[in-house]
Amino acid sequence: MEHCDPFTKFKLLKRFMDNWQFVRNLAVTITDTKNFKKSSTIRGKKIALPTLGDMRGAARGISRLQYIYKLNSTDFSNGYILGQKYSSGMTAYNCYILGKSLYESQDYTAAGEWLFEAFNKIEQSEESNQTKQKDSQIQNDEPTKVIQNFPHVSEVKILEYLSLTLFKAGKVQLSLLMNTLLLRNEPTNQKGLQNQKLFEQDLSRDRFRRKVPSKSKTSTITQLYEQVCRGELQQSPEEKRNLHCSYTNKNLAFYLLGPLKMELLSADPFVALYYDVIYNSENEKIIATAKKSLKRSLIGDEDESTTDEIRISKNAWLDFNEHPEFLAKISKRLEDITGLSMETSEEMQVANYGVGGYYALHYDCDEEQDEEDPEEGIDRLMTAMFYLNNVDLGGATAFPNLRLAVPPIKGSLVVWYNLHKSLKPDFRTSHAGCPVLKGSKWISNIWFDSLGQELNRPCDLRPDHAISMPYKSLGLD
């Protein structure tokens, strides 16, 4: 599953949800211990099976990929991603399930696109003759059957969902057309007859304009983020002019013979990428240890943290003191590279992003500092983020204000300051994780608190935060 495309993962998820419960129930009732001696083990493990919530989450992930990367539905459904074929694509049944899941998530625009794909595929393929013959045999409350060893959905069922989806998306005239096709196929269809009256009444009263869901206006910063993820927005030649790659020993004897490989990505604010600074054995150890305690990622303060759609990933926390056998050397390396002390740093956060996984625009520091807070000034001074694996497609870290996308390169470390020397937020450093298109992404974050870094990064004589204040008005959404 590590290098799967989004559709392969979606289809496997659906297959597990439909079939695995039956297999598991069968296995645990077998009395032939010779051939099924592992059945008791299966029963004891209490395997967590995929749920409808998982299906809807996967559907939203595919919709997110399609929207941010501007992927054509027809090409996407045929297995093409950014012009290259990665899978066999989706059948009419798969497209129907995806559209239905998006409908249940109230993403009616995306649901309509995929239900249209299901309708077109069932019309254009050889499956059409089979489905039309079977439509009369399939009851309205039974959407799918297995015909000749492949999952099947009727044209009638697709049109039921498609017409209602279009109606809820505000496209009433088109929904009426689809409903007419539905009744042409099955004149006695109860849902079709009910919806026909509803749609006609809505048109006659000219109320369909109010049916159009209000579209939230995409903010400037979000538009920049999406353009950076697609590679449409990049740094200008003038901005790149003073950027460079170099070998550096940080004035440390340890790196004289094996200097660090650094690429300066932004001079102000400082953003740099260091290559080959963590070994494969360390990557594997971090991932293996984190897998034992991975949980759905939370956002917000520790006391009020919760899950949210702006962050789709799993994470775990590794205490440097509890794993000195492999984290001690990494800790020392981080101090050498950053020039900061690890004494007041947070635990290492390890995060895994699957297909469609991302983290929306955010700051790593507190953008609304409370002047009356006695702990004012204690904030995340710097972020150090390791890329623990290569990602097949997508997964870059985007800095929209800097027009910068940092690609996920295994073994590399990207660092940046979240605060000015005055310890005020640098609003230019808002960033986000671009969605993973293919494969998965493993990263680890270490945040250096400003407390205890006074000698390592002293303040200037004059405040230096005015330069980033204009970016505050752009916000995050």
Q: Are residues 332 and 403 in the same domain?
A: yes
Residues 282-307 have a mean pLDDT of: 75
* Inside any domain, residue 10: yes
> Is residue 400 situated within a structural domain?
yes
Is residue 30's pLDDT more than 70?
Answer: no
Q: Where is pLDDT greater, at 313 or 164?
A: 164
Is 191 domain-assigned?
Answer: yes
Residue 249 pLDDT exceeds 70: yes
Res. 335: pLDDT tops 80:
yes
Same domain, yes or no, for 79 and 162? yes
54: CATH: 1.25.40.10
User: Which whole number is the average pLDDT over 349-375?
Assistant: 82
Whether residue 326 sits in one domain with residue 394: yes
Query: How large is the average pLDDT for residues 44-64?
Result: 78
Full-model pTM: 0.84
Q: Is residue 261 part of a domain?
A: yes
Within-domain flag for 37 = no
What average pLDDT does the structure give for the chain?
85
111 pLDDT higher than 50: yes
Listed residues 207, 224, 246: the one ending a domain = 207
Task: Flag whether 435 is in a domain.
Answer: yes
Q: Is the pLDDT of residue 357 over 80?
A: yes
- Do 10 and 126 share a domain, yes or no? yes
User: Average pLDDT of 73-85?
Assistant: 92
Structure-model confidence comparison of residues 276 and 2, the more confident one:
276
Mean pLDDT of 354-381: 79
- 314 lies in the same domain as 462: yes
| Mean of pLDDT values over 272-292 | 97
The answer on 293 and 170 residing in a single domain is no
295 band by pLDDT with thresholds 50, 70 and 90: confident
Answer yes or no: do 107 and 11 share one domain: yes
**Residue 206 pLDDT grade (very low, low, confident, very high; cuts 50, 70, 90):** low
The verdict on 251 and 115 lying in the same domain is no
Asked if pLDDT for residue 274 goes beyond 70, the answer is yes
* More confident: 43 or 265: 265
253 and 193 inside one domain: no
User: What pLDDT is recorded for position 97?
Assistant: 94
Say whether both 170 and 253 belong to one domain.
no
Q: Which residue has the higher pLDDT, 460 or 416?
A: 416
Whether 91 has a pLDDT exceeding 50, the answer reads: yes
In a domain, 225, yes or no: no
The reported pLDDT for the residue numbered 29 is 66
8 or 401: which carries more pLDDT confidence? 401
Which has the higher per-residue pLDDT, 237 or 22? 237
Are 198 and 318 part of one and the same domain? no
For the chain, give the secondary structure using H, E and C. CCCCCHHHHHHHHHHHHHHHHHHHHHHHCCCCCCCCCCHHHHHHHCCCCCCHHHHHHHHHHHHHHHHHCCCCHHHHHCCEECCEECCCCCCHHHHHHHHHHHHHCCCHHHHHHHHHHHHHHHHHCCHHHHHHHHHHHCCCCCCEEEECCEEEECHHHHHHHHHHHHHHCCCHHHHHHHHHHHHHHCCCCHHHHHHHHHHHHHHHCCCHHHHCCCCCCCCHHHHHHHHHHHCCCCCCHHHHCCCCEEEECCCCHHHCCCCEEEEEEECCCCEEEEECCCCHHHHHHHHHHHHCCCEECCECCHHHCECCCCEECEEEEECCCCCHHHHHHHHHHHHHHHCCCCCCCCCEEEEEECECCEEEEECCCCCCCCCCCCCCCCCEEEEEEEECCCCCEECCEEEHHHCEEECCCCCCEEEEECECCCCCECHHHCEEECCEEECCEEEEEEEEECCCCCCCCCCCCCCCCHHHHHHHCCCCC
Averaged pLDDT, 232-243: 95
- Which pLDDT does position 136 carry in this prediction? 45
Give pLDDT, residue 46.
56
What is the total count of domains within the chain?
2
Could you tell me what percent of the chain has a pLDDT over 90? 64
**226 within domain boundaries:** no
So what's the pLDDT on residue 217? 62
- Provide the residue range defining the domain that includes 277: 237-299+307-366+375-473
Residues 351 and 448 occupy one common structural domain: yes
Most confident of 46-50, 113-117, 312-316, 364-368: 113-117
- Name the least confident of 50-64, 291-305, 346-360: 291-305
**Can you give the CATH number for the domain in which 313 is found?**
2.60.120.620
Greater model confidence, 204 or 312: 204
